[in-house]
Amino acid sequence: MKRFQKNPILKPIVEHDWEARAVFNAAPLHIGGRVHILYRAVGNDGVSRLGYASSSDGYHIEERLSSPVFEPRNHAEKGGCEDPRLTLLDERCIMTYTALRDPVSNAHQITLTSIATDDFINKQWNWGERWMPFEGVRNKDAVILPGKVGGHYVLFHRIDPDICIAYSRDLQHWFDIKAIIGPRLRKWDCWKVGAAGPPIEISEGLLFIYHGVNFEMVYRLGALLLDKDNPERVLYRSESPILEPTADYERYGRVPNVVFSCGAILIDDKLLIYYGGADTVVCVATYDLSELIL
């Protein structure tokens, strides 16, 4: 992958108490002629909230709001709202995120909410109901597939250490939960794996970026190709990572040796992957689709 030469594209702002410590793990949405970015921010109180920035080309940030656009609201989120992922469905933007109840015990659950697409574009943050599809289950890295398969919504998520799949008729109740990939012995993703952003439909199938972690706690990114008609079927899995921490802003920070993505977009056959570097800054890297899919 080619890292943007001016990475990081977002850094903490010490004057903003809510994002003074770190900004990372960003979710992009390319709509209305702009790239909209929601990112996780950690403030001086240690709580995660979500901030907003946007760009006309996907690289240079031209707008960044000074206040969070999404914050913890209830007891289940008192430790923070982490790692957003965004999917457009039926005139609404569905957001999945991790609700952290207790940082000490790392008690976390995936949560869903939504907002009208027009409200999102116009920065009217009228978020709807928040609900937990697997209440009481420790779960992370949830993404919703754009569109339906066999009349059902599709959710990818992680029950350690595997990437799992589930189906729903209403986005509320989920069934047929099963693992589709797990760690691989003696490889770069030997400890656990998790979804990055929602899969992107291309002619060959569903391009699905994921992260893998080894026993040295190094986070890298890899690629899957899933069958469009049967997303449980893995057509391809990268033997080597497509991005790993080598730059200083990926190797040194709050959590060293981490590249962690919550989403990617496709613009003119270039895949733009947004990722957190060392759990401290937001970065972007690109891949020519023709090079990635051979």
What pLDDT was estimated at residue 90? 87
294 band by pLDDT with thresholds 50, 70 and 90? low
Residue 206 vs residues 71, 195, 279: alpha-carbon distances, Å: 32, 13, 27
What pLDDT was estimated at residue 102? 82
Residues 136-152: b if buried by 16+ CB within 10 A, e if exposed: eeebbbbbbbbeebeeb
**DSSP single-letter state for residue 17:** G
Going by C-beta distance under 8 Å and a sequence separation of 6 or more, which residues neighbour residue 29?
A: 35, 36, 37, 38, 86, 88, 93, 120, 263, 265
Residue 293's Cβ-count burial label (10 Å; 0-12, 13-18, 19+) is middle
Helix (H) or strand (E) holding 289: helix 289-292
Domain boundaries, the chain: 2-292
Mean pLDDT across 176-203: 97
> Is residue 43's pLDDT more than 90?
yes
* Planar angle of CA 241, 52, 87, nearest 5 degrees: 60
CA distance linking residue 173 with residue 196, whole number of Å: 23
What pLDDT was estimated at residue 243? 97
For the stretch 216-275, pLDDT in tens is 999 999 999 999 999 999 999 999 999 999 999 999 999 999 999 999 999 988 999 999
291 band by pLDDT with thresholds 50, 70 and 90? confident
CATH code of the region 2-292? 2.115.10.20
Mean pLDDT across 46-50: 97
> Is residue 206's pLDDT more than 90?
yes
For the stretch 159-188, pLDDT in tens is 999 999 999 999 999 999 999 999 999 999
